[in-house]
């Protein structure tokens, strides 16, 4: 799948997980909401606003909710967190156990080769 398809799939799967709207301010700021964001080449501080019940920023007097799915840097970070990796032939979602299993098998194979080589060198 290409980058656009991977991004669309990620947004579909995780879009509701990474919200900026909260009825009450969380005791700790979510790690996916940065302190600043850029909009139209201007930097804005992201704040929690109780009347709007969420994180966002003001441009003049207009309030904008922060949207992590529109923030390219944060979106890329979250895609990596959820094992969406880019390859020359396209993007894929790598399941943790599948990758870990292959890695363990390769390590076990290397250990057996080293042990066999040591035994063979004694003869």
Q: Residues 20-58: pLDDT tens digits?
A: 999 999 999 999 999 999 888 899 999 999 999 999 999
Query: pLDDT-derived band of residue 17, with 50, 70 and 90 as boundaries?
Result: very high
Q: Is residue 20 part of a domain?
A: yes
Q: Is residue 16 part of a domain?
A: yes
Tell me, what's the pLDDT at 54? 97
Rounded to two decimals, what is the model's pTM? 0.65
Alpha helices in the chain (DSSP H): 3-14, 72-81, 96-122
Q: Is residue 72 part of a domain?
A: yes
End-to-end CA distance of the chain: 52
Q: Is residue 8 part of a domain?
A: yes
Tell me, what's the pLDDT at 19? 93
Q: Is residue 38 part of a domain?
A: yes
Q: Is residue 110 part of a domain?
A: no
User: What's the chain's average pLDDT?
Assistant: 84
Tell me, what's the pLDDT at 96? 54
Q: Is residue 111 part of a domain?
A: no
Domain interval for residue 10: 3-94
Tell me, what's the pLDDT at 88? 45
Q: Is residue 40 part of a domain?
A: yes
Q: Which whole number is the average pLDDT over 65-69?
A: 94
Report the domain count for the chain.
1
């Amino acid at each position: 799948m290409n980058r656009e398809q991977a991004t669309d799939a990620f947004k579909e799967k995780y879009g509701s997980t990474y919200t900026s709207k909260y009825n009450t301010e969380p005791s700790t700021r979510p790690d996916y909401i940065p302190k600043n964001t850029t909009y139209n080449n201007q930097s804005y501080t992201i704040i929690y606003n109780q009347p709007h019940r969420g994180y966002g920023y003001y441009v003049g007097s207009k309030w904008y909710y922060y949207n992590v799915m529109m923030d390219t840097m944060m979106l890329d970070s979250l895609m990596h967190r959820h094992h969406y990796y880019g390859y020359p032939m396209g993007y894929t979602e790598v399941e943790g156990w599948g990758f870990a299993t292959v890695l363990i098998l390769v390590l076990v194979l290397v250990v057996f080769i080293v042990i066999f080589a040591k035994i063979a060198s004694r003869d």
